[in-house]
Structure 1
Amino acid sequence: MQGQRIGYVRVSSYDQNPERQLEQVEVGKLFTDKASGKDTQRPQLEAMLGFVREGDTVVVHSMDRLARNLDDLRRLVQKLTQRGVRIEFLKEGLVFTGDDSPMANLMLSVMGAFAEFERALIRERQREGIALAKQRGAYRGRKKALSDEQAATLRQRASVGEPKRSLPASSTSAGKLSTSTYARTIDTCRVA
């Protein structure tokens, strides 16, 4: 049974160009997620998994665009191929059908492991770069959600028994903040 070609694209940030991944490939339908690979909330991936049917071919630029890690990659490839869906990884030049040889399964594991290793190296280099920038005094980190004065006000209100959830965002000039930011600010006071 000949189905349609379906593309799946994931870009890590909103400023990346998703068309670059499948620009030379003709697909009948394209699903695009704009999220980090480690993000478990990928609505277009879920939509694609619900859309594909037996005989379809899912085309993905590379393994790291589909899965967060090796276990996730194996699970997704198995889920698709068990339903009679082919999956093509363009960068790696690999196709999986469910009737794959032991060599193809080995390639999936090896290539997936290399992709996971590469992501780990990138994270390690990033941490090292941040540490060096901190030593030079060039790294400022993320901007604080609350000023010291706003945090002190919240801590004072919490110390008189006002529940964390009732501390309205409008009471600070910082704007709307999450409950977890309030809780973290107040808990910091108790630890210190």
Structure 2
Amino acid sequence: MNKNKRVGYVRVSSMDQNTDRQLDGIETDKLFTDKASGKDTKRPQLQAALDYVREGDVLVVHSMDRLARNTEDLLRTVRELKERHVSVQFVKEGITFSGVQANPMDDLMMTMLGGFAQFERAIIRERQREGIELAKAKGVYKGRKPSLSPEQVSTLRQRAAGGEPKATIARDLGISRETLYQYLRQQEAA
């Protein structure tokens, strides 16, 4: 007998964010978790969840902005799931889009809520930029905390000067190659 499943999907924006609170207290049969920015198109666990769900299943997501990068992406993803007769439940919004029957009101509601969420994210980013500019003008903005300690930077530069592959150095230090190159450029500018 094929039992319908409740499949959870969780996405956090960074490695240090906690996933526990997103579907806390929500029962699921299987859970997929991505640690990636919403704007990132590479969300392997979302793709795995979409491949996993079957007709009659429910995909459970904390909120619309956790599932999609923008309104267009949200509408497409939910539409494709509904076409496969998979329901989508958004916990924060308290709404479920049925994979069994078409409901024009659901589609309208999803479009409006997705649009509001996208607008809200844009406003937050704009406020953040304004706050940083004000802090810079006051001389209190210090920027992002350095990824590496001074000792690690010294080691990085010695290894790079010794001809070791940059990708290997970056991987060993747990940084991106771009961050590695930024540290090397700082040395050249000094």
- TM-score interval w.r.t. the shorter chain? 0.7 to 0.9
State the alpha-carbon separation in 1 of the partners of residues 6 and 120 from structure 2.
29
Q: Share of identical aligned residues, percent? A: 56
Question: Which residues in structure 2 correspond to 1:75-90 (within 5 Å)?
Answer: 75-90=76-91
State the alpha-carbon separation in 2 of the partners of residues 144 and 62 from structure 1.
31
Tell me the CA shift for residue 92 of structure 1. 1.0
Q: Closer, same or farther in 2 for the Cα pair 1:16/1:180, shift >3 Å?
A: closer
- CA distances 1:34-70 after superposition (whole Å, capped 9, x unpaired): 1111111111101101111111111111101111110
Are the aligned partners of 1:170 and 1:176 in contact in 2 as well (CA < 8 Å)?
no
Unaligned runs of 5+ residues in structure 1 are 146-167
Larger radius of gyration: 1
Q: Structure 2: which amino acid aligns with 1:19? A: D
Are 1:135 and 2:137 matched, yes or no? yes
Q: Structure 1: which amino acid aligns with 2:30? A: K
State the alpha-carbon separation in 2 of the partners of residues 180 and 130 from structure 1.
21
Match of 1:47 in 2: 48
Q: Closer, same or farther in 2 for the Cα pair 1:141/1:87, shift >3 Å?
A: same
Match of 2:121 in 1: 119
Tell me the CA shift for residue 84 of structure 1. 1.2
Match of 1:169 in 2: 160
Are the aligned partners of 1:64 and 1:115 in contact in 2 as well (CA < 8 Å)?
yes
Q: Give the match's secondary structure for 1:38.
A: coil
Tell me the CA shift for residue 176 of structure 1. 4.0
- State the TM-score, normalized to the length of structure 1: 0.75
Mean Cα displacement is larger for which, 106-115 or 94-103?
A: 94-103
- State the TM-score, normalized to the length of structure 2: 0.75
Unaligned runs of 5+ residues in structure 2 are 149-158, 171-176
What CA RMSD, in Å, does the superposition of the two structures yield over aligned residues?
3.2
Match of 1:7 in 2: 8
Q: Would you say how many aligned residue pairs link Structure 1 and Structure 2? A: 167
Q: Closer, same or farther in 2 for the Cα pair 1:181/1:94, shift >3 Å?
A: same
Q: Closer, same or farther in 2 for the Cα pair 1:43/1:144, shift >3 Å?
A: closer
Tell me the CA shift for residue 27 of structure 1. 0.5
